[in-house]
Amino acid sequence: MVMTSPLLIALILCLTAFVLWAQELEEMESDVDTLDKELQQGCSTAIHARDRLKQLEENLARQEKQNFTGSMIEAYVFKFMPEHFRGLNLSSRMDAHNSSVLNNDILGAFLQSGPVAGLSRPVEIKFWHDMELDASNATCVFWQPGDGANSTGSWSREGCETTHGEGIIICHCNHLTYFAVLLIPAGALSPAQLASLTYISTIGCSLSAAAILCTLALCCFFRRWLKDNTTRIHMHLLAALLLLNCSFLLSTPLAAGSEGLCQVAAALLHAGLLCALAWMAAEAFHLLLLLVKVYNIYIQHYLLKLCLFAWGLPMLAVVAIFVFKRDTYGYHNISSSEGYRNMTTCWLTSQPAHYATICCAGLILLFNTLVLGRVMIILWRIQRQKEQARKDWVTVLVLTCLLGTTWGLAFFSFGVFLVPQLYLFTILNSLQGFFICLWYITLHRQSKLGSVTNTFR
């Protein structure tokens, strides 16, 4: 009995240590459950929840491995003691969500001694998923805090490499911070392409707006220029393009402000686009009456009816949407291929409204293209001298601007045509008002015009 007493005492001590260790693990799991419940309750316990999270981190720092999950905690932060740090391998397995961040999942890791960067052995972070992804639409990034107090920071992939496997994305990074996987939409532009298109559209719309203002001012000063319905229709089209250009130039700056201002800017941009397209349709209809119909047709209150169609209907639709379903307008994100260098503007946020606008634009452009094709056939059939025929084809180019057929390039934004189409679309349509004003001013400076050109005077 004397010999067995030390063994019995040792056994009791081991059992006691095991029970204490099990209680500590149970307390850690209880901490996670308590923290999860507190986060679900709302902001009233946010300060207490942060204290519990800090306590949880300290408990995790003393353990080699600890697994836990929570319904509300989607970003787990681990702090490790520097003397115990021998590398890091984190793994995340979550259900898929519709988000630019894979699974809405962010993992963070830090050392208590301070920032860690330039590791010779990269940190390995695994993100599990059940989607079809490849290197073109998913990349590993980390959160880079902003420099100033007003800067929120941004995602960056510097120092991180992405490896794709079946149902898993592995990130190897040479520093410790918050990590995530960004999902990039297919066909997204590079930041350089997005920036260049922004510059081109800004310069083009600014030139068009300035040219339109000068032309409208000249028409108001020289009222004899507004002697017929054709010229008045041109001026209404220019006014609609002025609204479109100005609202477009304001949409991006106002996206940095309040949501209410952004919604107003988006509504004005939508109204400008619809009115411009409607007046292009009015130009095509008027051209059809002038060149295709052989008999003179008189329509009572002709210009007033065109104004009700081209100004009234679009404005009525936009006002109705803004009053009854204002959330149709708001912040619109334009994604780049790097995911964290996106651009925010004010535009439609509703897919049905977006598709309805595309359908409306498609019908108008189809009608205008058919009218333009009919005019080209008439010009081809008329026997003229070479010099006069050249003037006729110049007129066709002018009609292309008036009827807005270049807007049809938007329907070729796929595959290999995407980038060239975007540049052509941006250049031609941002300068549409400038081209029309240039043609109109040149028209009034000429002393003698061809018969087809005279039709539009």
Q: For 361-377, what is each residue's pLDDT tens digit?
A: 999 999 999 999 888 88
pLDDT in tens, 379-394: 777 755 555 555 666 7
Position 450 confidence tier, pLDDT thresholds 50, 70, 90: very low
The mean per-residue pLDDT over the stretch 318-343 comes to 84
Position 78 confidence tier, pLDDT thresholds 50, 70, 90: low
Question: Is pLDDT of 249 > 80?
Answer: yes
Q: Identity (one letter) of the amino acid at 388?
A: Q
Question: Is pLDDT of 152 > 80?
Answer: no
pLDDT reported for residue 190: 78
Specify the DSSP class assigned to residue 7: H
The mean per-residue pLDDT over the stretch 170-194 comes to 82
Mean pLDDT of the chain: 77
The mean per-residue pLDDT over the stretch 401-405 comes to 88
When mean pLDDT is compared across 122-136, 138-152, 228-242, the lowest value belongs to 138-152
The mean per-residue pLDDT over the stretch 131-160 comes to 74
pLDDT reported for residue 157: 82
First to last CA, the chain: 123
Question: Is pLDDT of 211 > 50?
Answer: yes
Question: Is pLDDT of 297 > 60?
Answer: yes
Question: Is pLDDT of 23 > 90?
Answer: no
When mean pLDDT is compared across 83-87, 93-97, 340-344, the lowest value belongs to 93-97
Best mean pLDDT range from 29-38, 116-125, 230-239: 230-239
Which residues have a Cβ under 8 Å from the Cβ of 335 and sit 6 or more positions away? 100, 184, 185, 188, 342
